[in-house]
Amino acid sequence: MAASLQTKIVFPVLSTLKLPYLELVRWKSRGLFVRRKKPIKKWFDPKDTSWAEPILKHKKLKESQPEPEPSMLHMVYRMKSHFTRPYWEKDILKEYGLFEKAYNPVVLKNTPEINEKLRIVKHLIRIKPITFPYGLPKDEKDYKHCYLKENGEFIVRHRINDESDEVAQAWAEVRVVEEQEEEEDIWKMDKETIQREARKTLLTYRLSQEYFREKYVYKYNQDGKEHRYSGKDRIASHRQDWY
């Protein structure tokens, strides 16, 4: 009775004050009662859009940058197993040399026909566009020193023009040094090699080992287990002594 009187007094007061942190709630078990409102968190407030500022900033930055030109070639490698996959996916992997080994890069052309087939097995492979940060090879001899990196960069090391006088003089000096190294006796021991071998002998306790060789002499019943050979308690006494 007292509780009902309190609610009749409190509810009109709350309705007139309209406090932002209090609200009236009706439950089946408790009836109508006053509950404190939980403060609205920053990320839950629909009016607050500060959480989306990094996303909007990234979107504006992406729109401001020009779209990159599509690469002519793709570096493709398989990173997942083809076990239990359907036959048409395995046929595509066999066609482009991706069936046998995983993480084995294969260079393919960027054409609609090839891209359509790669789309079918996109869950098994990884595609990276091939870029040329140092340009394309200018001569056939440049291909000998080219290599493809893991991130898709095709590194080209251009050959130096050998016709200039400075390059010819440098090559001549290199040949002279190489000829001098070949003429040296390979059996001649230098000071560093002798010091290294002597230090190794000292650390491994092999000093004068050739003069004091180890001699193994076995005494009778040295280990106290001679019964293994003649038998215990005259068992197998018919055996002959091994010594």
The Cα diameter of the chain in Å comes to: 118
Looking at residue 176, what is its pLDDT?
A: 80
pTM here is: 0.45
What are the pLDDT digits (tens) for 105-140? 999 999 999 999 999 999 999 999 999 998 888 888
Looking at residue 217, what is its pLDDT?
A: 74
Sites in the chain below the pLDDT cut of 50: 1-2, 5, 231, 243
User: In b/e form, how buried is each residue of 85-111, taking b as 16+ CB within 10 angstroms?
Assistant: eeeebbebbeebebbeeeeebeebeee
The residue count of the chain comes to 243
Cα 109 to the center of its chain, rounded Å: 27
Looking at residue 229, what is its pLDDT?
A: 56
Partners of 34 in beta bridges? 24
How far, in Å, are 112, 169, 173, 193 from residue 178 at the CA level?
A: 53, 14, 9, 22
Looking at residue 4, what is its pLDDT?
A: 54
Looking at residue 211, what is its pLDDT?
A: 84
Partners of 109 in beta bridges? 73
